[in-house]
Each structure stands twice: as structure tokens, then as C-alpha cells.
Structure 1
Amino acid sequence: MAIYKKGNSYEVRISYKDIKGNYKQHHKTGFKSKEEAEDYIANFKLKLSNNIIPLKDKITFSSYFKEWYETYKEPVISDNTKRRYRTYIREVKKYFNNKKLCEVNRKCYQLIISDYGKTHVKTSVTKFDFAIKSMVKSAILDGLIDTDFTKGITLVYNDDNKIEVDYLNLSEIKATVNYLIENLKSSPKTTNNYIFILTGFLTGMRLGEIQALTWEDIDFENNKITINKSWDDINFGFKPPKTKASNRVIDIPSILSNILKDKKKDKKDKLVFFNNTAHRVPVSQNINKSMRRLFKRLGISRNNYHFHSVRHSYVALAYSLGIDFYTISKQLGHANPTTTINTYSYLIEEFKQEQTDILVKKLDKLFT
């Protein structure tokens, strides 16, 4: 048994006899310190002495996937992602059945992913494949398999049942925002949700970021909002924002600042959008229901337009006003403009001809 330093981390190599008396090699990397590597060896020795080091040819694919998830993924992922991985555990059990980990090769995996793809859309297949790829890398590091059988696989999927997300055009965005501003106080029952929706249209904030908004986060004097947390619908409390870049301070239009200031006069709660009747902040179902009623009044037909689509509408509105993607990305909380461009590339195509016409006219004016 030996410990080696590799760059800024340590790796362990262990030679041992399995319960059949055969010599085996075990290799693991990624230890942050020598002490951590030594603890791992001590734990391995303990398992070895109790004959609980499993034989490679006895480990099923599904059991290793579950163990990998519980060891490496579950402690560090969000509750939403945990739900997705628990679904993966069931699907791995279904599609891989009782296959041994060592029995799965490229052909076997291709057949399985093709079968899985018959009833799943592209996004679902891609995410499922990513989870399997990550697990396979771990199995190689654990010395349980020798090759990555997920390389060179062709992903098969079925988009027949894919739900196309609806988006508003510019005239519909403007009509919606104007209606919200003009009718905020017409119905006290809908005021909270209407201001919630308006905040999304005028800031591009995520649902969880608006849910978690407190009065301390709003700088009314300078028309700014500090975003440093999100809302956990499951545990009914704050949680860290989606990414490191999501921690940001954004500028807001004065019209929204004034509306929020008026709202504060009647509020004693710490949370801006806490509903005293429901005893909670609005959840996505409430907001989407309010938007459907709103669109019905405006004669807008967008059955698959949900609150996350409001973020797209914010980008469309900002881009139509000539705002560059760097500024938009900072408002959205993206790490760099590339993320914003890749996510909203369809908007570039939509406005490309309009922008090209402006460019040509300006060039003509400059040189004639």
C-alpha cells in the first residue's frame, strides 16, 4: 500500500488478496491531504479484514450507481437535482436490470441508451447520459472497470412529445408590462402576484431569487437590488443562489422601485412577497396561474409560457433596446456573456436583420 503525491493532491495504490485468494489492485486519486489518503487506507484495511471488499464480478451496475450517488453526489447537490438523481436510480435499475458492472461494454450501453431514448426527449437523454458518464469515471478510479464504455456513443432520443416553450413577442411583452403597472391596485387579491411577475419582467431575476427577496435587499435611494440567496420551496427557507455569479447587485427602473416602495408601506414581513393569507411566498404554480389569467384578459394565447419564460422576455426587451450581451449577462447573473449568448441565441437570429439594416444605414450616413 502506497501514497503518492500528484500535483496538489494525493493518490493511493493498494495491492491485496480478495476472498478467493487472487491478487488485486485498487487505485484512488483526488485526496486533498496525505492524512486523508492515510485515513482511506486504514478504512480499506478494515473492510479487507472483515471480508467486505466486494469482488469486481459481483457488483451490479445499479448497486454501484446508487452507492456512487450517495457517496459523491447527494452531499453536494440541490434538492431539485437530488430528485432527478433518485429518478435515475430507478431508471438504471429498470434498464440495466441485474447486469454486472463489469459486463457492460460499448455495444451494451449503446443498446440501453437507444432503448431509453425511445421514450425520452433530447434533454432528458443528455442529462441521463451525463450521469452515467460521471459514474463510469468513478468506477475506473475505483479500479472496478478498465475502460470508459460511454465514449463514442450515439445518443438517441424522441422529441415527439417535447413541449415547446412559448415566448412573447415584443408587442405582447410591452402590453403585459403596461397592464401590470396600470392594474396593480385594481384587485387586492392579485396585487402581490402581479408585482412579483412585474419584478421578473423588469429585472430578469429567477423565480427563487424573487421569492427570497427581503426589504433589506432593496436600495430604494439608488434603485438597486442585492441578490445573494434563493428560496428553497421544499424546506421553506433560504438557500445559496444557483451559481457563484448569481451573487450580484442589479439596477432596477425607478418605476419598479417606486411600486416596491409603495408595497412596503403595508408590509411588516421580512420577505417582500410573503403572503399572509397563504402563510408563504408564492410558488411557481400560483404565479403561472396568475399569468394565465393575465394573458386571457389581454387576449394573448401562450399555453406553454411559464415564469421562467419571463427571463427570456427580459432579455428580448433589453436586446431590442440595444443593450449589449455583456451588460445583460451581468443583470442575469451569468458568469460570462457566452452563457447568455448560447442560451438566448434565437433572439440574435430574430433581431439580426433589424440590426444589420441599422448598421448599413449608419455606414451609408458615415461615408456619404
Structure 2
Amino acid sequence: MQEATIDKCNMLFCDYYKQWISIYKEGAIRPVTMQKYNMAYRWLSKLIPDLIICDLDRFSYQKLLNDYALEHERQTTMDFHHHLKCAILDAVDEGLIPHDPTRKAIIKGKQPRQKKPKFLNQFELHKLLEDLELTEQLNMDWLILLVAKTGMRFSEALALTPKDFDLSHQLLSVSKTWDYKGQGGFLPTKNQSSIRKIPLDWKTVMQFAQLIKNLPDDKPVFIQKKIYNSTVNDLLARHCKHAHVPEISIHGLRHTHASLLLFAGVSIASVARRLGHSNITTTQKTYLHIIQELESKDIDIIMRSLSNLNS
């Protein structure tokens, strides 16, 4: 083994991981994803601060995952595992670790917390929207309405400017996001498929034509100061409570929008395009329970149709 490799082999694994993030990830991924890698580094520093990279084997790696899982749900532990694995495989390729310690890793985790419902039904959504205070000036209630009617991501809705509203063609252009988790400012969309034009109903067009007519073309219509996801979720929760419907998050409105379209008979491909999913598989996985319910209804329709055929 060369001297440089021997020196590197004696590095602390958390130091190697920090260096790996800096070289391979910094500037190549979205800031929100970078935060997850940095968070994984902080957990390494807490759980295995003294582990040398060449001592990382299946046993020590499994213990690391087990210790992490004591304070996190299984899905979060799985994400942590995925954030570490690429760096570890690179260390294996460099000859710093003789065998892949992540092979056959067992993912554990705490019992999931009671989660909010993911979406509302059509009746519940109507009750919620009736409770909104839609003033003559744009406020966060208007943002809630727009997310419910378009299925946009929260960051996409925050980034909207007046020039994104093509009112004559009843279209809304999504081409950027707002960095509400960081220092503010425009960021690229989640993926290339997220750049899209969403058709709007005529009533929403008429409402927003009045709301944005005197606003600067290139300034976000919903941003006056620093805004937090939790602030809008708290506002939405108050409206849900007042309307006597299940409490959902702002992201739950995106799920509600997609669910209502699927139940209305809109194709999965059209829903995927409207949501800005990179492929139909993402939509199918996210809304599997609804698709299965619709398939059950389809089978009933098929059976009734067949039974009506003359033999």
C-alpha cells in the first residue's frame, strides 16, 4: 500500500466524509439536498467521532445505523444510509476499506409518529376554501387557494411573479422555486420536468388578474418578508380546524389536488405532468392507494359491462 493511501486509511471516517462532500457534492446539488449531507456528517461526528476509516466494517457500520435508528424513524434511517453509502463505496474503490460494509445492512427505526392525513376529499376541500379570507390584497390565503387549484409545490408558488401568469391563455408558468429555507432568492426547479405550464380555471384567472395588475413583473407576488413553511402550515391548520375538516399541511393540498384529479378520471400521465413529476412511476408510487381504489371501481364497471353483453 502506498504511503499516501496508508495516511488516508488512518483518517477519521467523519473527516473523510466531510472531505468527500466538499469534493463531490458542493456546488453540484441543490442547497436543500446539501443540507441533508451536512446533517449526516453532524450525526457521524456525534455517533462515531473516533472511528478510523480502515476500521469501518459491517459490524461497526450496522452499529452506527442501529444507534442512529434509536432516535429516527425507519425512512429517515434509510435516507441516512443512502447519504453515506456512496462515500463508503468510493472509499472501497480507493482501497481504504477492503470490503463493502454497507452490504446486507439492516435498516431499523422508531415507530412512526401519528401523521396528518395526506389529503382532503372534495367536500372537505370545499369547506376549507370557503373558510379562506380572500382579501383585495394578496395574502397567504390566496397562496393556499392557488396551491389547492394547481398542485404546485410550496417553493414553486412562492417564486411566482406577475409575468408567470399568462392570463389570456389561462396558463401559469412554473420555471423556478424560492429559497425559503435559506436566504431567499430564486432557485432552479426540483428537476427538468418541474418546468411546466399549468392550465388555470377561468375564475382563478379573473381573480389573479385583479390581484397582480399593479405589481412589478419580476418580483415574487407572495413575498414581502422572510417566510416559513411552518407559518403557512399553522395558518392552514387554523382554517382546517375552523372548517371542521382534517388538518393537513400545505404539501397535503398538493396531494389533495392530485387525488381529486385521479378520482375525476384524469389520466396518471396528465396528473404527473401537472405536478411536475419526473416520471409516471413517481406518481404511481405516491398515489398507489388511490389507483388501487380506482382499479377496484374499474373492475366493477367491466363486470357490469360484460354481464350486459348478449351471449
TM-score by length of 2: 0.90
1:343 aligns with 2:293: no
Aligned partner of 1:295 in structure 2 is 240
**Can you list the C-alpha shifts for 1:208-231, whole angstroms capped at 9, x where unaligned?**
111111111111111111111111
- Cα deviation, residue 109, structure 1: 1.2
* Equivalent residues of 2:131, 2:242 under 8 A apart: no
* Equivalent residues of 2:13, 2:53 under 8 A apart: yes
Give, in whole Å, the separation in 2 of the partners of 1:242 and 1:264: 26
Aligned partner of 2:156 in structure 1 is 209
Aligned partner of 2:206 in structure 1 is 258
1:184 aligns with 2:130: no
2:218 to 261, 266, 270: 270
Give, in whole Å, the separation in 1 of the partners of 2:6 and 2:145: 57
Aligned sequence identity (%): 27
* Equivalent residues of 2:162, 2:215 under 8 A apart: no
* Equivalent residues of 1:60, 1:101 under 8 A apart: yes
- Cα deviation, residue 314, structure 1: 0.5
- Cα deviation, residue 77, structure 1: 2.1
Give, in whole Å, the separation in 1 of the partners of 2:293 and 2:279: 22
Q: Higher Cα Rg: structure 1 or 2?
A: 1
Runs of 5+ in structure 2 lacking a partner?
none
* Equivalent residues of 1:264, 1:272 under 8 A apart: no
Secondary structure of residue in 2 paired with 1:55:
helix
Give, in whole Å, the separation in 2 of the partners of 1:326 and 1:65: 40
Aligned partner of 1:239 in structure 2 is 187
* Equivalent residues of 1:196, 1:273 under 8 A apart: no
- Cα deviation, residue 311, structure 1: 0.8
1:66 aligns with 2:13: no
TM-score by length of 1: 0.77
* Equivalent residues of 1:226, 1:249 under 8 A apart: yes
Aligned partner of 1:127 in structure 2 is 79
Secondary structure of residue in 1 paired with 2:266:
coil
1:354 aligns with 2:286: no
2:165 to 205, 218, 229: 218
Give, in whole Å, the separation in 2 of the partners of 1:350 and 1:17: 61
- Cα deviation, residue 232, structure 1: 1.0
- Cα deviation, residue 130, structure 1: 0.5
Give, in whole Å, the separation in 2 of the partners of 1:171 and 1:351: 19
Secondary structure of residue in 2 paired with 1:250:
strand
Give, in whole Å, the separation in 2 of the partners of 1:56 and 1:237: 39
- Cα deviation, residue 117, structure 1: 1.2
Secondary structure of residue in 1 paired with 2:139:
helix
2:115 to 164, 184, 196: 164
**Can you list the C-alpha shifts for 1:94-130, whole angstroms capped at 9, x where unaligned?**
2223111111111221122122212210121011100
Q: Which residue identity does 1:91 align to in structure 2?
A: W
Aligned partner of 1:248 in structure 2 is 196
For the structure 1 residues 296 and 271, does the alpha-carbon distance in structure 2 shift closer, same or farther, using more than 3 Å as the test? Answer: farther
- Cα deviation, residue 235, structure 1: 2.5
Give 1:127-166 correspondences, 5 Å limit: 127-160=79-112, 162-166=113-117
Give, in whole Å, the separation in 2 of the partners of 1:100 and 1:200: 48
Give 1:83-98 correspondences, 5 Å limit: 83-98=35-50
**Can you list the C-alpha shifts for 1:249-270, whole angstroms capped at 9, x where unaligned?**
2212122111111212353463
* Equivalent residues of 2:173, 2:196 under 8 A apart: yes
- Cα deviation, residue 349, structure 1: 3.3
Give, in whole Å, the separation in 2 of the partners of 1:360 and 1:170: 27
- Cα deviation, residue 178, structure 1: 4.6
1:310 to 230, 250, 253: 253
**Can you list the C-alpha shifts for 1:229-251, whole angstroms capped at 9, x where unaligned?**
11112222111001111111221
For the structure 1 residues 250 and 58, does the alpha-carbon distance in structure 2 shift closer, same or farther, using more than 3 Å as the test? Answer: same
Runs of 4+ in 1 over 6 A off after TM superposition: none
Q: Which residue identity does 1:348 align to in structure 2?
A: I
Superposed CA RMSD in Å reads: 2.3
Give, in whole Å, the separation in 2 of the partners of 1:75 and 1:63: 19
For the structure 1 residues 367 and 258, does the alpha-carbon distance in structure 2 shift closer, same or farther, using more than 3 Å as the test? Answer: farther
- Cα deviation, residue 329, structure 1: 0.2
Give, in whole Å, the separation in 2 of the partners of 1:366 and 1:336: 38
For the structure 1 residues 140 and 273, does the alpha-carbon distance in structure 2 shift closer, same or farther, using more than 3 Å as the test? Answer: same
1:331 aligns with 2:283: no
For the structure 1 residues 97 and 281, does the alpha-carbon distance in structure 2 shift closer, same or farther, using more than 3 Å as the test? Answer: closer
Aligned residues: 309
Give, in whole Å, the separation in 2 of the partners of 1:109 and 1:82: 22
Give, in whole Å, the separation in 2 of the partners of 1:55 and 1:365: 79
